[in-house]
């Protein structure tokens, strides 16, 4: 359990041990499990026996058992428990001696510190007696590692594992939620330095990469939208050129020329419309890996915007505060999800 601490019984695991020795040590482990289990059941029953309603129930339903237990066991409970303690203490001493003989630890006196739960479980006080269950668990872990048992197939293991995971999830979620609540409170008070730190420590060092990525994304999006709306954009350009020429004084004077004025204006209009369409086609004919929207020009514009954001943070410390507050709120909603309920059948 906590040895990588080798459990009490792993004291017996020895690569060169003979088959007979392994079998004897295995029998000893099983005997310790049975002994500790019996001891824990006795402790539990005697604890219940101290309650008057439970005694009354036993006296009414099983009077002979009540009298026998009360006179022979409950009255001598401390002495009986000391017998268990003597056996468990002997087990600890034998395990310590074997560990020292095998030089399992760097120092011979490390054993009681590594197997602290074994040592404390030998103290015959109510607060320490329940630590004896750790001895059973540690032996089961050893047997699991040796492949002699598979506790994962036990119904009790599945039940305990489920409730253990639920408890861990609930505990970790509450801790994370409390931390995020503190961050959110600081953001709303305006006293948090998180927005400034994000800009200086996250955005500023990556401005070049962000500018390149955003420029490529803007170019690709603009090209996609242009291909989808190309005819509409061309019609808009034609209408814009027509309105511009219609209100242009020079074009109006050419239009008044007798005979050829209208033709010249229409020719100019066709030239402008065609040139404008070709220019837009060339500008937005983006392909991945090629410059978009003027090549480096778009990237320089995006980089300039990022530089403005980074350089002006001192004068506008709350620009990102509300956005970060919303992000933290979403994180808190995600943390509060009961995933174990969603996974329930």
- Express each pLDDT in 128-175 by its tens digit: 888 888 888 888 887 887 777 787 887 877 888 888 888 888 888 888
Looking at residue 15, what is its pLDDT?
A: 44
Asked whether the beta carbons of 325 and 184 are under 8 A apart, the reply is yes
Give CA–CA dist 102/14, Å, rounded.
Answer: 8
Give CA–CA dist 226/278, Å, rounded.
Answer: 13
Report pLDDT digits (tens) over 44-69: 999 899 888 888 898 888 989 989 99
Asked whether the beta carbons of 1 and 141 are under 8 A apart, the reply is yes
**Cα end-to-end distance, the chain, whole Å:** 31
**303 Cβ partners below 8 Å, 6+ apart?**
207, 208, 211
pTM of the model: 0.46
Give CA–CA dist 121/117, Å, rounded.
Answer: 6
More confident residue, 316 or 148: 148
Q: What is the DSSP letter of 36?
A: H
Give CA–CA dist 295/216, Å, rounded.
Answer: 10
Give CA–CA dist 327/313, Å, rounded.
Answer: 19
DSSP labels, 124-191 = -SHHHHTTHHHHHHHHHHHHHHTTS--GGGSHHHHHHHHHHHHHHHHHHHHHHHHHHHHHHHHHHHT-
Report pLDDT digits (tens) over 177-203: 888 888 888 777 777 677 777 777 777
Q: Crossing angle for the helix pair 207-228 and 230-246, nearest 10 degrees?
A: 80
Give CA–CA dist 110/272, Å, rounded.
Answer: 92
Give CA–CA dist 231/235, Å, rounded.
Answer: 6
H or E element that contains 342: helix 339-342
Report pLDDT digits (tens) over 227-278: 788 888 888 888 888 888 887 777 777 777 776 777 887 888 888 888 887 8
H or E element that contains 87: helix 77-102
Looking at residue 7, what is its pLDDT?
A: 43
Q: Is 11 left (phi over 0), alpha (psi -120 to 50) or beta?
A: alpha
Looking at residue 285, what is its pLDDT?
A: 64
Residue 223, pLDDT > 80, answer no
């Amino acid at each position: 359990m906590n040895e990588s601490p080798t459990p009490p019984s792993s004291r017996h695991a020895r690569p060169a041990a003979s088959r007979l020795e392994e079998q004897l040590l295995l029998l000893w482990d099983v005997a310790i499990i049975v002994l500790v289990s019996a001891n824990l059941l006795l402790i539990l029953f005697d604890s219940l026996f101290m309650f008057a309603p439970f005694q009354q129930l036993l006296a009414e339903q099983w009077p002979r058992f009540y009298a026998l237990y009360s006179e022979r066991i409950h009255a001598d409970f401390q002495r009986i428990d000391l017998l268990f303690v003597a056996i468990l203490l002997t087990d600890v001493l034998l395990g310590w001696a074997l560990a020292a003989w095998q030089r399992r630890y760097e120092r011979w006196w490390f054993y009681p510190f590594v197997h602290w739960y074994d040592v404390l479980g030998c103290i015959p006080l109510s607060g320490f007696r329940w630590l004896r269950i750790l001895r059973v668990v540690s032996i089961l872990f050893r047997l699991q590692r040796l492949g002699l048992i598979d506790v994962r197939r036990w119904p009790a293991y599945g039940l305990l594992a489920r409730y253990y995971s639920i408890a861990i999830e609930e505990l970790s979620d509450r801790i994370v939620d409390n931390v995020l609540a503190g961050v959110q409170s600081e953001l709303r008070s305006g006293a948090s330095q998180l927005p400034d730190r994000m800009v200086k420590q996250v955005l500023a060092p990556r401005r070049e990469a962000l500018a390149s990525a955003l420029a490529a994304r803007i170019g690709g999006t603009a090209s996609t939208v242009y291909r989808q709306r190309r005819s509409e954009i061309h019609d808009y350009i034609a209408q814009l050129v027509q309105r511009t020429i219609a209100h242009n004084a020079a074009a109006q004077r050419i239009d008044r020329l007798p005979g050829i004025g209208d033709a010249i204006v229409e020719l100019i209009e066709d030239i402008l419309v065609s040139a404008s369409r070709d220019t837009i086609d060339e500008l937005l004919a983006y392909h991945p890996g090629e410059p978009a929207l003027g090549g480096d020009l778009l990237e320089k514009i995006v980089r300039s915007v990022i530089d403005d954001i980074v350089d002006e943070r001192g004068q506008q410390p709350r620009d990102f505060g509300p956005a970060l507050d919303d992000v933290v709120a979403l994180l808190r909603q995600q943390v509060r999800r009961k995933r174990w309920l969603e996974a329930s059948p």
